[in-house]
Amino acid sequence: MKSSIFTCKASSFPSTTFKVLKEVKINIIKMELSITRPDDWHLHLRDGKLLEAVVPHSAHHFGRAIIMPNLKPPITTTAAAMAYRESILKALPINSGFTPLMTLYLTDSTTPAEIKLAKESGVIFAVKLYPAGATTNSQDGVTDLFGKCMPVIEEMVKHNMPLLVHGEVTSPEVDIFDREKVFIETVLSPLVQKFPQLKVVMEHVTTMDAVKFVESCAEGRIAATVTPQHLVLNRNSLFQGGLQPHNYCLPVLKRETHRQAIVSAVTSGSKRFFLGTDSAPHDRLKKECPCGCAGIYNAPVALAVYAKVFEEAGALDKLEAFTSFNGPDFYGLPRNTSKITLGKTPWKVPESFSYASGHVVPMFAGEMLDWLPSPV
């Protein structure tokens, strides 16, 4: 019998093509999703040789990315942000259409004039709040938000400049697993009450407390990015089979109940949540050492992991909004017009990626993933 093609519709994913190979046998050839090219609304690219090694992975999958400013020294001025942007553009593959969206690193001494200059630059899209000591290269972060940064926040409201928040307190008496919850109660909730017109992104949310807070706020003013790791891993993943340094990130992985709450939120179709990988590369030797760095390098696998989560939740029809619509809509930017394909094609994640100074180990190194992204 001659082969023929027909299409079958399903509520949880776009059209899937089947092929009749024999009269009584139907074989699925390949499931493919074609979605608007996603953006990454929380990305660490580092600098120097490491930047050159990792930026192609993000550029291959994403149209734009919000670039985190926690370099050494941090990106605290418009001039520094513009120079860093040029370094990123020079490191991109030839003919890449990837656009870096720059941010400023908020400090106790940031001025309203710098915020005005950043807005006028046309290349800076947000300001990042790192509580001092909260994560990698955050030692220059804010020590007293309400005492030292209120004029800057007022200027940000004036220019509709979003504040991107690393939502953890750093007080040593607060348990590391409670730092996000306490931050919401003592910092973020009072801040949005004081400045109801301030746009805030709660970055890399990790708890049901954060989910509830974001959902309780006005849509369009408060949103959250969600990482691949916080959707598929819980704190057990740090210790299974021995200490797992490549699963260590900040905010740290939480209980399974929190992971489930985040999955439910992002697969619900809510516009308040969008893709932000928090892909954070470190050299292998800086991860596998007595005082290892926090950060998971997930850029090569992020879209495959997100697709897995939405598929398992029966929500593939909601994947495109999470990856490609909610972010630009919140930032007031146009959606991408190009497409990317996700094929149900098993592939093995490389064990590591080499660069001039060493190796970077990706999330799920050496493991098989089911979804393979490729540009259209």
Domains and CATH numbers, the chain: 34-338 (3.20.20.140)
11 compared with 60, residue with greater pLDDT: 60
Determine the average pLDDT of the residues in 182-187.
98
Determine the average pLDDT of the residues in 291-305.
98
Mean pLDDT of the chain: 93
pLDDT digits (tens, 9 = 90+) for 3-15: 333 333 344 444 4
Which of 125-129, 131-135, 242-246 has the weakest average pLDDT? 131-135
CB-CB contact of 183 with 169 (8 Å) = yes
Tell which residue, 83, 76, 78, 74, has the closest CA to residue 135.
Answer: 74
- pLDDT of residue 62 exceeding 80, the answer is yes
Output the pLDDT for position 134: 87
Query: In the structure, what pLDDT confidence band is assigned to residue 217 with cuts at 50, 70 and 90?
Result: very high
73 compared with 26, residue with greater pLDDT: 73
**Burial per residue of 192-215, b for 16 or more beta-carbon CB atoms within 10 angstroms, e otherwise:** beebeebbbbbbbbbbbbbbebbe
Determine the average pLDDT of the residues in 120-136.
95
Determine the average pLDDT of the residues in 288-312.
97
pLDDT digits (tens, 9 = 90+) for 72-107: 999 999 999 999 999 999 999 999 999 999 999 999
Output the pLDDT for position 207: 98
- pLDDT of residue 19 exceeding 60, the answer is no
Output the pLDDT for position 26: 46
Catalytic residue list: 42, 44, 128, 166, 204, 278
Query: Could you tell me the pTM of the whole model?
Result: 0.92
Determine the average pLDDT of the residues in 175-203.
98
Share of residues in the chain with pLDDT > 90 (%): 89
Output the pLDDT for position 29: 63
Output the pLDDT for position 136: 86
pLDDT digits (tens, 9 = 90+) for 129-155: 999 988 888 888 999 999 999 999 999
Determine the average pLDDT of the residues in 299-328.
98
Query: In the structure, what pLDDT confidence band is assigned to residue 28 with cuts at 50, 70 and 90?
Result: low
Output the pLDDT for position 137: 83
Output the pLDDT for position 18: 35
Which of 7-16, 34-43, 113-122 has the weakest average pLDDT? 7-16
